[in-house]
């Protein structure tokens, strides 16, 4: 922009470098300049000068000139080497004031007038581009530079082109003998820019014999032969293959056919003729040695129909559900077989989902959008009237597994947790079941919540339940291909499944005084499947209608002293038992007892033998186990309580149960062994035993270990004695 006009003018819109010489300026005039970058998106922001610059001759201002020369501060070379066919760009940096004038020469010829070369010069450099160099471009190039200051200078640039050497000279044959000769020649005039390393000697001769000659087909009047190319072609192209023939009756070889490919049909033969054939390879030097085959009888050649299953290892094809099933089998057979397909031994018909395609040597069936029901056995049937063959491909569809097998079982139900179990899916979807996911839902809500998504077994304990809340659970199976549909449980309430215990025995009062008396009672015959936590006692005098609770805390023993009674009143008592399920029904009330002062009688010493309940017997142990019975034995109690033991009471309990069940028997158990029958094979049981005498039932023995009902395995028979004669 002229500093006076203040109007911006574009000088050059296509500057490629980061410098530019502005010419045709008015001497003494002040100018502003600005520069902006442009890309495919448009013009960038300008950078401009804040102070104008005056167009004037700096040489006159500073009175300083320098002669033209190479700019040695810039890297350069004057020796160039390139392969033939490559472009060569020679770059020479310059310096000098005024800017040097350049002239490129090759010999006496000025290269500026030759369109083959592209010469570009600026104030600071000159470049010459030689495209696609050849051997003729080798040599020296002269660059002359001058600017009127000092003497002109000449720079020499050498170019070496690497190319293949020229033809060898004066090939001569010497010393020819049987089987060998001597060759001599002179080196090539041009070595291509690099020393000759070696020479290659080639010769031309007849080709080798064809290989692997076989008959591949025959008809009533023709035979088709096939072979592979010779190992060497004799140094020239094989132009033809020649087939000759002869019959068994006539040993003379006659022309059969000529072809250019490695198979040929020889026609015009007589049916049932027995013939020999031979094949020659031919190049420009002549025929090769022959390869012969025969005798061959000219008849219709029958090939049993066959299909190749090599693309389907073990005859199986796995397909993801939703993808296409594509079975393609190469086949052969003569006569050409009739093709049909079966699915699970039923004819497979073409439809929108099922498509067939058959070519000369391949047949294919495609089922679009595979589903689980498309899995099964696909059979290709090839029938050429002579033989009928079947070829099976088993298709496996890969997808998510089927629903786990139900119903969902509740193995343990508690107020805060429930253990559920289920069975594996009937179908794994073609992939191993990796895990199960368990979800829960309160029946009062619609949303399902994930409990665990990585359950590896078919049983799971669901924790953190709210007591008394009704729940529903569902389970899904998962493999690497997907997740199954859910198996949903029935509704279940999170609460203990124990029952309240049975009523305790009728209380008996003793040690009666004016303000109190002691009572005792027997334990309930049934504990409700949960241990007895304790007891509660109530009292009532004869004239009252209300029962009053006596104890403030639960009573752990089966004996209790009631105090605070009124002298002269008659009292009766009753007892409740308590377990995890709650309180039992009330016991039978005791007889009425009057609260009276204790009468201290005169003391008469008598020696009495007081009877007590017997001690606990020894722990039961199994002596014989079958599929539905277990025979147990135990030892007598340490003491019988001073009274003869009448019989024993035997109880059993299953592994997963909390409830003890009395073992029924037709007669009382009086011996120290008993056979327990009507058990379930495969279940595990534990046992305990109690002794009973005239004073009552003693404490239970220690619980036995678990015994599993199963048939005994027979011991091996004795080895057979083998007599060895020495």
pLDDT of residue 85: 87
Q: Tell me the mean pLDDT in the region 366-381.
A: 92
- Helical spans, DSSP H, in 526-658: none
The three-class DSSP label of residue 61 is helix
Entry pTM: 0.38
Exposed/middle/buried for residue 429 (C-beta within 10 Å: 0-12, 13-18, 19+)? buried
CA separation for the pair 557, 581 (Å, rounded): 19
Q: Say yes or no: 103 and 39 in one domain.
A: no
Domain span at residue 693?
A: 621-708
CA separation for the pair 240, 724 (Å, rounded): 78
Q: Say yes or no: 85 and 150 in one domain.
A: yes
Task: Look at residue 60 and tell me whether its pLDDT is greater than 60.
Answer: no
Exposed/middle/buried for residue 431 (C-beta within 10 Å: 0-12, 13-18, 19+)? middle
Residue 473: C-alpha distances to residues 178, 440, 462 (Å): 100, 4, 9
Residue whose structure tokens are 């009053």: 548
Task: Look at residue 722 and tell me whether its pLDDT is greater than 80.
Answer: no
Task: For residue 721, tell me if it sits in a domain.
Answer: no
The residues, any chain, with a CB within 8 Å of residue 215's CB and separated by 6 or more, are 223, 224, 225, 226, 293, 296, 301
Residue where a domain stops, chosen among 162, 192, 219: 162
CA separation for the pair 100, 155 (Å, rounded): 13
Task: For residue 561, tell me if it sits in a domain.
Answer: yes
pLDDT, greater one: 649 or 496: 649
CA 247: distance to chain centroid? 64
Q: Average the pLDDT over each of 58-72, 258-272, 288-302, 489-503 and give the range with the smallest value.
A: 58-72
Q: Say yes or no: 12 and 88 in one domain.
A: no
Task: For residue 609, tell me if it sits in a domain.
Answer: no
CA separation for the pair 561, 512 (Å, rounded): 10
Q: Say yes or no: 589 and 519 in one domain.
A: yes
Task: For residue 440, tell me if it sits in a domain.
Answer: yes
Q: Are 701 and 691 in contact (CB under 8 A)?
A: no
Q: Tell me the mean pLDDT in the region 694-718.
A: 81
pLDDT digit string, tens, across residues 190-247? 777 778 888 888 777 788 898 999 988 888 889 999 999 998 887 788 889 999 999 9
Residue 346: C-alpha distances to residues 340, 343, 618, 666 (Å): 11, 5, 70, 63
Task: For residue 338, tell me if it sits in a domain.
Answer: yes
Q: Tell me the mean pLDDT in the region 700-722.
A: 74
**CA quadruple 672, 677, 679, 683: dihedral sign:** positive
Q: Say yes or no: 76 and 38 in one domain.
A: no
CATH number at residue 704: 2.60.40.10
Percent of the chain with pLDDT over 90: 40
pLDDT digit string, tens, across residues 613-627? 899 999 999 999 998
pLDDT, greater one: 142 or 177: 142
What is the CB neighbour count within 10 angstroms for residue 619? 15
Q: Which two tokens stand for residue 502?
A: 């049975």
Local confidence band at 608 (pLDDT 50, 70, 90 cut-offs): low
pLDDT digit string, tens, across residues 413-448? 888 999 999 999 998 888 899 999 999 999 999 999
Measured in degrees and rounded to the nearest 5, phi and psi for residue 455 equal -80, 125
CA separation for the pair 293, 225 (Å, rounded): 9
On the CB side of 46, how many CA atoms lie within 13 Å of its CA? 9
Measured in degrees and rounded to the nearest 5, phi and psi for residue 577 equal -100, 150
Q: Are 517 and 562 in contact (CB under 8 A)?
A: yes
Q: Are 426 and 402 in contact (CB under 8 A)?
A: yes
pLDDT of residue 725: 42
Local confidence band at 612 (pLDDT 50, 70, 90 cut-offs): confident
Q: Are 162 and 84 in contact (CB under 8 A)?
A: yes
CA separation for the pair 656, 241 (Å, rounded): 89
- Helical spans, DSSP H, in 5-93: 58-62
pLDDT of residue 366: 94
**Pairing of β 559-563 and β 570-579:** unpaired
Annotate 109-125 with three-state secondary structure: EEHHHCCCCEEEECCCE
Local confidence band at 724 (pLDDT 50, 70, 90 cut-offs): very low
pLDDT digit string, tens, across residues 552-563? 999 999 999 999
CA separation for the pair 439, 483 (Å, rounded): 14
pLDDT of residue 101: 87
Q: Say yes or no: 8 and 24 in one domain.
A: yes
End-to-end CA, the chain: 129
Q: Say yes or no: 564 and 519 in one domain.
A: yes
pLDDT of residue 1: 66
pLDDT digit string, tens, across residues 333-360? 888 899 999 999 999 999 999 999 999 8
Q: Say yes or no: 553 and 568 in one domain.
A: yes
Q: Say yes or no: 586 and 666 in one domain.
A: no
Task: Look at residue 411 and tell me whether its pLDDT is greater than 80.
Answer: yes
Residue where a domain stops, chosen among 37, 56, 75: 56
Percent of the chain with pLDDT over 70: 93
Q: Are 412 and 386 in contact (CB under 8 A)?
A: no
What is the CB neighbour count within 10 angstroms for residue 650? 21
Q: Say yes or no: 311 and 338 in one domain.
A: yes
pLDDT, greater one: 607 or 676: 676
pLDDT digit string, tens, across residues 496-547? 878 889 999 999 999 888 889 999 999 999 988 888 999 999 999 988 889 9
Q: Are 133 and 86 in contact (CB under 8 A)?
A: yes
pLDDT of residue 8: 83
Task: Look at residue 386 and tell me whether its pLDDT is greater than 60.
Answer: yes
Residue whose structure tokens are 């909390």: 658
Q: Are 590 and 508 in contact (CB under 8 A)?
A: yes
Task: Look at residue 62 and tell me whether its pLDDT is greater than 50.
Answer: no
Q: Tell me the mean pLDDT in the region 670-694.
A: 91
pLDDT digit string, tens, across residues 400-409? 899 999 899 9
Q: Say yes or no: 83 and 151 in one domain.
A: yes
CA separation for the pair 437, 452 (Å, rounded): 6
Residue where a domain stops, chosen among 352, 369, 398: 398
Task: For residue 168, tell me if it sits in a domain.
Answer: no
CA separation for the pair 417, 426 (Å, rounded): 29
Q: Are 133 and 80 in contact (CB under 8 A)?
A: no
CA separation for the pair 144, 479 (Å, rounded): 83
The three-class DSSP label of residue 391 is strand
- Average pLDDT of the chain is 86
Q: Are 617 and 535 in contact (CB under 8 A)?
A: no
Structural domains counted in the chain = 7
**Pairing of β 274-283 and β 405-413:** unpaired
Task: For residue 607, tell me if it sits in a domain.
Answer: no
The three-class DSSP label of residue 372 is helix
Task: For residue 610, tell me if it sits in a domain.
Answer: no
Q: Say yes or no: 95 and 152 in one domain.
A: yes
């Amino acid at each position: 922009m002229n500093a006076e006009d203040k109007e911006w003018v574009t000088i050059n819109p296509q500057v490629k470098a980061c410098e530019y010489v502005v010419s045709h300026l008015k001497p003494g005039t002040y100018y502003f300049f600005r520069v902006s970058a442009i890309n495919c998106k448009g013009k960038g922001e300008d950078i401009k000068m804040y102070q104008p610059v005056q167009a004037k001759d700096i040489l006159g201002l500073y009175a300083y000139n320098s002669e033209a020369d190479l700019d040695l501060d810039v890297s350069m070379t004057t020796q160039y080497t390139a392969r033939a066919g490559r472009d060569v760009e020679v770059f020479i940096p310059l310096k000098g004031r005024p800017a040097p004038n350049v002239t490129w020469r090759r010999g006496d010829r000025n290269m500026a007038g030759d369109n083959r070369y592209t010469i570009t010069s600026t104030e600071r450099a000159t470049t010459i581009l030689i495209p696609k160099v050849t051997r003729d471009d080798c040599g020296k190039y002269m660059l002359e530079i001058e600017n009127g200051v000092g003497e002109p200078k000449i720079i020499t640039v050498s170019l070496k082109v690497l190319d293949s050497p020229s033809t060898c000279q004066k090939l001569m044959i010497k010393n020819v003998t049987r089987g060998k000769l001597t060759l001599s020649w002179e080196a090539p005039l041009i070595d291509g820019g690099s020393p000759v390393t070696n020479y290659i000697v080639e010769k031309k001769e007849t080709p080798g014999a064809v290989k692997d000659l076989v008959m591949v087909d025959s008809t009533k009047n023709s035979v088709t032969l096939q072979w592979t190319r010779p190992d060497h072609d004799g140094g020239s192209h094989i132009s033809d293959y020649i087939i000759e023939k002869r019959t068994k009756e006539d040993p003379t070889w006659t022309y059969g056919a000529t072809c250019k490919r490695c198979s040929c049909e020889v026609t015009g033969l007589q049916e049932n003729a027995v013939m020999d054939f031979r094949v020659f390879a031919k190049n420009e030097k002549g025929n090769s040695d022959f390869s012969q085959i025969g005798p061959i009888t000219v008849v219709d050649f029958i090939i049993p129909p066959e299909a190749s299953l090599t693309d389907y290892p073990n005859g199986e094809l796995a397909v993801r559900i939703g993808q296409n099933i594509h079975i393609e089998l190469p086949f052969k057979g003569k006569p050409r077989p009739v093709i049909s397909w079966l699915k699970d031994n039923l004819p497979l018909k073409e439809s929108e989902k099922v498509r067939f395609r058959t070519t000369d040597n391949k047949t294919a069936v495609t089922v679009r959008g595979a589903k689980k029901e498309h899995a099964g056995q696909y059979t290709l049937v090839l029938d050429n009237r002579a033989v009928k063959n079947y070829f099976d491909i088993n298709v496996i569809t890969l997808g998510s597994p089927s629903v786990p097998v139900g119903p969902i079982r509740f193995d343990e139900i508690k107020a805060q947790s429930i253990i559920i179990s289920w069975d594996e899916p009937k179908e794994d979807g073609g992939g191993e079941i990796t895990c199960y996911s368990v979800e829960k839902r309160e029946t009062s809500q619609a949303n399902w919540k994930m409990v665990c998504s990585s359950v590896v077994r078919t049983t799971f304990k669901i924790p953190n339940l709210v007591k008394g809340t009704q729940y529903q659970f569902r389970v899904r199976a998962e493999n690497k291909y997907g997740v199954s549909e859910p198996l949903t449980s029935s509704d279940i309430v999170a609460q203990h499944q124990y029952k309240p215990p049975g009523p305790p025995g009728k209380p008996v009062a003793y040690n009666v005084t004016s303000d109190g008396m002691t009572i005792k009672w027997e334990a309930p015959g049934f504990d409700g499947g949960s241990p007895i936590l304790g007891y509660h006692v109530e009292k009532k005098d004869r004239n009252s209608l209300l029962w009053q609770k006596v104890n403030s805390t639960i009573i752990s023993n089966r004996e209790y002293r009631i105090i605070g009674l009124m002298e002269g009143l008659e009292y009766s008592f009753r007892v409740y038992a308590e377990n995890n399920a709650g309180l039992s029904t009330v016991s039978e009330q005791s007889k009425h007892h009057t609260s009276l002062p204790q009468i201290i009688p005169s003391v008469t010493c008598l020696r009495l033998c007081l009877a007590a309940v017997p001690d606990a017997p020894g722990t039961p142990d199994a002596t014989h186990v079958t599929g539905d019975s277990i025979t147990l034995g135990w030892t007598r109690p340490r003491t019988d309580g001073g009274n003869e033991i009448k019989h024993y009471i035997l109880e059993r309990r299953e592994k997963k149960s909390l409830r003890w069940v009395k073992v029924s028997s037709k007669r009382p158990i009086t011996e120290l062994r008993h056979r327990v029958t009507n058990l379930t094979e495969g279940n595990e049981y534990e046992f305990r035993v109690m002794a009973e005498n005239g004073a009552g039932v003693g404490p239970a023995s220690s619980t036995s270990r678990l015994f599993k009902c199963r048939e005994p395995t027979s011991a091996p028979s004795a080895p057979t004695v083998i007599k060895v004669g020495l």
